Amino acid sequence: MNPIVGPRWKRGEEDYDLCSADYSKLSKEEKKRFQRVRKRKTYTFGLQQEIELPPCLRTCEWPEQKLMEVHTIRLTLKRLNCLPSTLWRLKNLRQLIASANGIWNISPNIGKLIMLFRIDIRYNRLKQLPDEIGLLHNLKYLDGCQNRIETLTDAIGNLRKLEVLNLYETN
């Protein structure tokens, strides 16, 4: 058995996948039983890159359907002092990693990202979290260590699924 390289094709709910090479060998009738498996989009921006977000996100040129496919954004070591406003359009965003920046404020718009289950905002300059953080009912992991958080919003109590709250060495 060889690993699947390139696009994957899945047959219904069965545990049976094909690579594109094998899929192309099928008859038209057999192909109807398969669906292409979409890869989740993850954007990672390292220290060497100078962009904050890909151009399509910076200028909001992507159609809404494309924005719905973005599930993870990594903005580590980007020297940001706030999160880009285009993030609030990513309605299916599940993971937001923005550690080791200079972020001092998180917009109340974070409450719009109701699919988020992980936020990593370690090593920033945050003094507080917005009350709207309490609207993120799917949030399981919130890492805000090494910030300057002085008080914690009562809205944290609304996060019933929260499993990890790391505020080590804040303030």
Instruction: Give residue 141's pLDDT.
Output: 97
User: Which residues constitute the domain of residue 20?
Assistant: 8-37
Looking at the structure, tell me whether residues 12 and 47 fall in a common domain: no
Whole-structure pTM value: 0.66
DSSP character string of 54-82: -HHHHTT-S-HHHHHTEEEEE-TTS--SB
pLDDT higher for 83 or 5?
83
Instruction: Give residue 158's pLDDT.
Output: 95
Quote the CA–CA distance of 168 and 147 in Å, as a whole number: 9
The answer to whether residue 52 is domain-embedded is yes
The answer to whether residue 117 is domain-embedded is yes
Q: Whose CA is closest to 156, among 127, 133, 128, 122?
A: 133
Looking at the structure, tell me whether residues 31 and 52 fall in a common domain: no
Instruction: Give residue 54's pLDDT.
Output: 53
The answer to whether residue 1 is domain-embedded is no
Quote the CA–CA distance of 113 and 97 in Å, as a whole number: 13
Looking at the structure, tell me whether residues 91 and 28 fall in a common domain: no
Looking at the structure, tell me whether residues 104 and 78 fall in a common domain: yes
pLDDT tens-digit series, residues 117-170: 999 999 999 999 999 999 999 999 999 999 999 888 999 999 999 999 999 887
The answer to whether residue 171 is domain-embedded is no
pLDDT tens-digit series, residues 64-78: 666 677 888 888 888
The answer to whether residue 77 is domain-embedded is yes
Q: At 47, is the pLDDT very low, low, confident or very high (cuts 50, 70, 90)?
A: very low
Q: How many domains, in total, are found in the chain?
A: 2
The answer to whether residue 3 is domain-embedded is no
CATH value at residue 134:
3.80.10.10
The answer to whether residue 90 is domain-embedded is yes
DSSP 72: E
